[in-house]
Amino acid sequence: MTGAGSERTAPLVEVFRSYQGEGIHVGRRQIFVRFFGCHRNCVYCDTPESVTARNPQGAPASCRVENQPGSNQFQEIPNPVRMERLLSVIDELQIVETAPCEIALTGGEPLLHVPFLETLLPEFRCRGWRSYLETTGDLPGRIQPLISNLDVVAADLKLPSATGERERWEKHAAFFRECREGNVSFFVKVVVSSRTSNEEIRHAAAVIADVSPTVPLVLQPLTAAPGAGSSPAPAQLIAWLDQASRVLTDVRIIPQCHAATGNR
Ligand code: SF4
C-alpha cells in the first residue's frame, strides 16, 4: 500500500470510461480518473476504497484500468501512477469521435493532489481534452491554481443529516465564491435523505444564493446505504424543490444514474 504523490505522480484507485451518473451533465461520456484519499468519511460513501479513514495503510499498490467500457475486466498499473502513464492510459481509452474527450477527476477528493493536477491539467488542455472536477466543495484555496484549466466543477454541499459528519457551511461558501470569481462553470449537488431537515435545505440554498442565485442546485436523493437512512419521500423532495426555488433560479431533482452500467 502507498499513499504518496507529487507533481509527476498520484495515487489512483481506478481509471475507466463510462458516462456521468450525477448532476446536470448526467449521461455525458467521460473517462473517470479516481484518486485515492478523502478527508471526509460520509456514511453513504460508495467508494470506500478511496477514503483515507477507511484505508489507514494508504492507497492500494496498484490502480486498476478497465480494458473495455463496462467489461469489468481490468489491468493493474503500479501506484503512484506517473502522469505520462496516465496520459497514455486515457489516450487508449478514448475513442475516435467528433466530441472532445472529457475526463472526470473524481475520488476520493482530487483536490488533495493539487501539485499533480497543476501539472496534469495543462497537458489535457494541450490535447484538447475537457476536464470535469468532482469535489467535496469544502476545500477553499485549493482550486485557485487549477481553475483556469478546468471546464466544469461539480461541487458537493455536504449536509450533516446525510453524511453523518459535522457541518462545514463556511468552507462551502468560500469554495463556491472562489468558483464564481474564477469564472468556471459549476453547479452544486446536495445529497438529501429521509433525515434531512427543512432548515438544512433553507441554509444550503441561502449559502448558494449568497454567491449567486443562478448557480444550479441539484437535490440528489440518497441511494440506500447501510446506516445512512433512506431516500426522502416524493412529496418531501418536491417541497424542498419549491423551498430552494424561492432563492435560486435553477433547482433540480436528479437521482443517481450509475445503475445501468454498475459504475459509480
Ligand atoms: S466525500 Fe465522497 S469519497 Fe469522500 S467519503 Fe464522502 S462520498 Fe466518499
Q: What is the pLDDT of residue 259?
A: 58
Q: What is the pLDDT of residue 99?
A: 72
Distance, CA of 76 to chain centre: 23
How many structural domains are present in the chain?
1
Q: Give the mean pLDDT of 12-37.
A: 96
Whether ligand 1 lies within 6 angstroms of the CB of 107 is answered as: yes
Q: Are 178 and 143 in contact (CB under 8 A)?
A: yes
For the segment 202-253, what is each residue's pLDDT rounded down to a tens digit? Answer: 999 999 999 999 999 999 999 877 777 899 999 999 999 999 999 999 999 9
Residue-number span of the structural domain to which 125 is assigned: 9-253
SS3 string, the chain, reads: CECCCCCCEECEEEEEEEECCCHHHCCCEEEEEEECCCCCCCCCCCCHHHCHHHCCCCECCEEEEECCCCCCCEEEEECCEEHHHHHHHHHHHCCCCCCCCEEEEECCCHHHHHHHHHHHHHHHHHHCCEEEEEECCCCCCCCCCCHHHCCEEEEECCCHHHHCCCCCHHHHHHHHHHHHHCCCEEEEEEEECCCCCHHHHHHHHHHHHHHCCCCCEEEEECCCCCCCCCCCCHHHHHHHHHHHHCCCCCEEECCCCCCCCCCC
The protein residue whose alpha carbon is closest to atom 6 in ligand 1 is 42
Residue 23 lies in a domain: yes
**126 CA → ligand 1 middle, Å:** 30
For the segment 207-218, what is each residue's pLDDT rounded down to a tens digit? Answer: 999 999 999 999
Q: Give the mean pLDDT of 52-60.
A: 94
Residue-averaged pLDDT of the chain: 93
Cα 103-77-62 angle, rounded to 5 deg: 100
Q: Give the mean pLDDT of 173-188.
A: 98
Residue 43 lies in a domain: yes
Q: Left, alpha or beta for 253 (phi > 0: left; psi -120 to 50: alpha)? A: beta
Least confident of 81-95, 137-151, 164-178: 81-95
**Is the pLDDT assigned to residue 262 strictly greater than 60?**
no
Instruction: Tell which atom from ligand 1 comes closest to the C-alpha of 107.
Output: 3
Whether ligand 1 lies within 6 angstroms of the CB of 40 is answered as: yes
Paired with 252 in beta bridges are 218
Q: What's the CA gap between 230 and 232, in Å, rounded?
A: 6
All residues at 6 or more sequence positions from 183 whose CB lies less than 8 Å from its CB, including other chains: 147
Residue 232 lies in a domain: yes
Q: What is the pLDDT of residue 143?
A: 97
Residue 222 lies in a domain: yes
Residue 65 lies in a domain: yes
What are the cell numbers at 103? 475526463
Distance, CA of 50 to chain centre: 12
| Nearest one of 199, 215, 220, 218 to 248, comparing CA atoms | 215
Paired with 63 in beta bridges are 77
Residue 258 lies in a domain: no
CATH code, domain with 137: 3.20.20.70
**Is the pLDDT assigned to residue 49 strictly greater than 70?**
yes
Residue 157 lies in a domain: yes
Residue 1 lies in a domain: no
Whether ligand 1 lies within 6 angstroms of the CB of 45 is answered as: yes
Distance, CA of 25 to chain centre: 12
Residue 1 pLDDT level (bands cut at 50, 70, 90)? very low
The protein residue whose alpha carbon is closest to atom 3 in ligand 1 is 108
